[in-house]
Structure 1
Amino acid sequence: MLKLIGSLITGAIVGWIAGKIMNTESSLLRNIVVGTIGSFVGSFVFGLLGFYAFGWVANLVVSVVGACIFIWLGRKLFG
C-alpha cells in the first residue's frame, strides 16, 4: 500500500515538473496520469538508447523527460 502511495506522489511530482517545463497548467489527477505515463515513455525511449536509470534521481529525470515527450506528443496529436 505504501508503494502505491509513493508511486502516486512521485507521479504527481513528475507531472508537475513536466507541466512547468512545458508551460501547461493541470490538476493533481492529470499530473499523476501524465507523470505515470511519462515514466513508461521515458523508460522506453531511454531503453532504446541503451540508458537505464538506477536510483531515485535518475528515475526522476527519465520520468520527467518522458512526461515532456508525452505532453509534446499530445499537443501534436490533439492540438
Structure 2
Amino acid sequence: MAAAVFLRWAPHHGTFVGLLAGAALCVALTSNVTRKRRFRRAVQGINDESLPASTASVLTLAASVAALALMGIYTLLFFPLA
C-alpha cells in the first residue's frame, strides 16, 4: 500500500520516488518471505508452552518503517513539485 502511495507522488516529485517504492517493496517482500519461519516458531512455542520474544524482527521492522517515513517526509519537504 505504501509503495502505491509513493508511486502516486512520481509525477509531482520526480524519480526519487522510485527509490521509496523500491524500499517499501523490499520491506514487504522480506516480511512475506520470513512469515513461514515466524509462524513455525510461534507454533513450536505454543506447543512447548514457552514463546520467546522476537526482538530482532520487531526492531528491524520498526527501523524499516521509520526509515520509509523519514524518506517520505524528506521527499515532501525537499523535492519541489513539478
Scaled to the shorter chain, the TM-score interval is 0.3 to 0.5
Give the TM-score of the pair, scaled to structure 2: 0.32
| Larger relative contact order (CA 8 Å, sep ≥ 6) | 2
